[in-house]
Amino acid sequence: REHGSRRDDCGQDSLRRRLGARMMSKPSVAVLGSGPTAAAAKAAVGEWATVTDSANSAPYVLVVDGAPGSVKADAVVAVPTCADAAKLAAAVPTAKVVAVTAAPAVAAAAELASKAGVATSEVANVISWGSGFADISHATVGGKWALTITDSPLPSPAVTPEAEVEAAVSTIKALALGTDGAWVSMGVPAVGDFGTGTGVYYSVPVVCTPGDYKRVGGITLSPPVAAAMEASRASLAGA
């Protein structure tokens, strides 16, 4: 019995070590770009992932500026614009390609937090639609509806370089680690929901699990938001 107990203890210790190693392992993310925004993004991604410059071997790729070059056939890739995403998806159809479109939502969330005197972490469900414009119709601030502290569902916040960095990093982080049910916005292939048509990339709210995303459904659209979305769709379709 004593020997059996020791073997059981050793087996449990080995299992704990394996599970601990899995929990401590970081995803590998290629962060591509040469400017200050790319440098800031690399530093931020490095807080939760292993950063590499090799896009052709990394499972996750964040393109901050420039072209991604060669990527793995099954890579998850975030690129700067919806037009960039459509181009790369056509070239590498087996890759999961999205566009970084959340900067207006990031900026709008920061503006709401400032008005309410709360941390940005207390702002949820700000959406970035289309090619990237913010909608706070469904947002909450400190658990209260955002429209109780501001009148317009369509704010026009100044998008700072810091917001652009946060948008890029949060997009690839959501895809690599998941969002645990929280909404994020990114440009994905339009499938006709929300009147977006098809054949273009269009920013919508999604929830993520590692390596994948799912559109958020059942979102009501006010007339001003619907009109802005149609204008953005027409612009993307003509790009």
Residue 103 sits at the vertex; the CA angle it makes with 99 and 107, to the nearest 5 degrees, is 165
The residue to which tokens 């990114």 are assigned: 186
Q: What is the mean pLDDT of residues 63-89?
A: 93
Give this prediction's pTM: 0.88
More reliable by pLDDT, 4 or 182:
182
- Please state the length of the chain: 239
Q: What is the mean pLDDT of residues 209-228?
A: 96
User: How high is the pLDDT of residue 21?
Assistant: 42
For 163-197, letters b (16+ CB in 10 Å) and e give bbbbbbbbbbbbbbbbbeeebbbbbbbbeeebebb
User: How high is the pLDDT of residue 94?
Assistant: 96
Given pLDDT bands bounded at 50, 70 and 90, which one contains residue 8? low
